[in-house]
Structure 1
Amino acid sequence: MIEILFSVVSAVFPVGCIVLIGFIFGKNFSIDEPTLSKLSLYVLFPALLTDILYRTTISIAEAMEIFIAFGLIYILLCLISWIIAKRLGFSVAAQKSLVASTALSNSGNMGLSVTLFALGEPGLEKAVIYLISWNLIVMSTMPAILKGGRFWSSIIFTLKLPIIWGMILGLIFNLFNVQLPLRLDDGLHLLKEATIPVALLLMGIQISNSSFKPGTYEFGASLMRLLGGALVAYLVGKTMNLARLDLQVLVLQSSMPSALASFLMVNEFGGDATRTSKVVIVSTLLSFLTLPIILWAIGATS
């Protein structure tokens, strides 16, 4: 358990430091946030997705069960959070923010680290499948959900996003085993490596422009992400009769705090960016309390 808690701290501390740097920078300098946000979503994130899909060695057959399970979890969390937000009379912006922060878990840098320590290499392999499923499903749907509009206009809007074409390009490169010339794959990987730091700096800058006083909304949204995500994942996994390791990974990855991407998407496509950034931070801090409980519940502490 000590090793697992250490892995949580190790995953979160560098993230917190980069957000703090962005916060300090935002307090001392003015910056064009919309341009930085567009750089992240229209250049860096497409590069990240292309690089991940280009390099993966996971076959479609071995990924299918977790892909379907994640898709069901994602749909259920979107619906549940939207219904709750409507019933509580939230503004449209707050509804979008709650949907994004609830449905999108930090299954990347934090999820992979915790899964490796808790479930070892076999668990990590399954967690990578979850992460790829997350990228394929979330990045192709959440921008349209936040943007709103009619069905066909949402489809057209989604197809115009570089994120979609980045995924398609990565899949094509992978399926046809394309070898990029002149070390272009190294350049792609460099862009991918810049994605998370730039996004974290942007979140720190966003927080610096508002007072960080989390209230009922932030704590409630955080618990929906941390505990609600785990519960929905468990029910979906049990319904699908997944193998023990698959179920453990599904629940653990779905119990991670709100993803940084939820803030970026809300900031760019619609919603309350300030509230979303606070939920990302509060849910990350609360995860130090909830993750040990989840790890005990799924039998990953022995």
Structure 2
Amino acid sequence: MKNNNIYDVIIIGGSYAGLSAAMALGRALKSVLVLDSGLPCNRQTPFSHNFLTNDGKTPVEIAKTAKEQVLAYPTVAFFGDKVADAVKTADGFTVTLEGGETFLGHKLIFATGIKDILPDVSGLAECWGISVLHCPYCHGYEVKGVPTAILNNGDTAFEVAKLIRNWTDDLVIVTNGSADFSEEQWQFLEQQNIGVAEAEVSHILHNEGYISAIVFHNNTSIPVKAAYIRAPFQQHCGLPEKLGCEITPEGYIMINPMQQTTVPGVFACGDNSGPMRAVAHAVFTGTMAGISASKELIFENY
């Protein structure tokens, strides 16, 4: 570092992907600044699964240990604030925080995640990540065999229901209005004894995020212990696109196998650049981004 505000790499986002990138860079003797707002997307999730050696631990516990291990590398620094802007310069990238601080990084890694756009249904947001779930591979085992709802319609609901049927036989699709299924899909649902509720949803009945029933505007309700929803999303941070990073038709930051974006010197990892939303995958992509950025820095010195 030339001074305290210049780093080899600035990482925006300090959850699993960002911390993994920082560890790889710290072990490569590169100076790293991790910037994080402290609001990870899984902050409501009580337990994390499918991550070897950490199965069943809380996300907070995993992140705390990870941060301690990463900051043991002397070239890694952490700053808790939200990034307001990032600009390409001749020497790299200037990053400005909401608090006014400015830093220069020769390379930039976005580990900023995505933001789910949930239906405007009372109680749903409070249950998100606790009992209203996005992934059976992350949470399905804990709710196996219980009454479960799918909060989608049409082809999406049909696909999700076929998948969730592996974890429970007690399954109902809540379409929140007229169902949109083909004749073949209706036949399949009937054969599999998967119910369909077409009434409009009023609210989610829950106790501290644990769902107990879906209540409809017609004053009926369905008791359930879990629900799945495949929700649309948007990038949590608009700066990659502002810098010129190409976005895929699905809404992810476009990357190559080395986590490089379409803008030289900019990398992306974690949920913002692919559909596999799992801690293990975030760690892998973060490690790959850190290795790729360090390799570029090393070769640029020759």
Band of TM-score, shorter chain: under 0.3
Name whichever structure is richer in helix by fraction: 1
Name whichever structure is richer in strand by fraction: 2
Structure number with the bigger relative contact order (C-alpha 8 A, sep ≥ 6) is 1
* Structure number, greater radius of gyration: 2
User: Taking structure 2 as the reference length, what is the TM-score of the superposition?
Assistant: 0.24
User: Taking structure 1 as the reference length, what is the TM-score of the superposition?
Assistant: 0.24
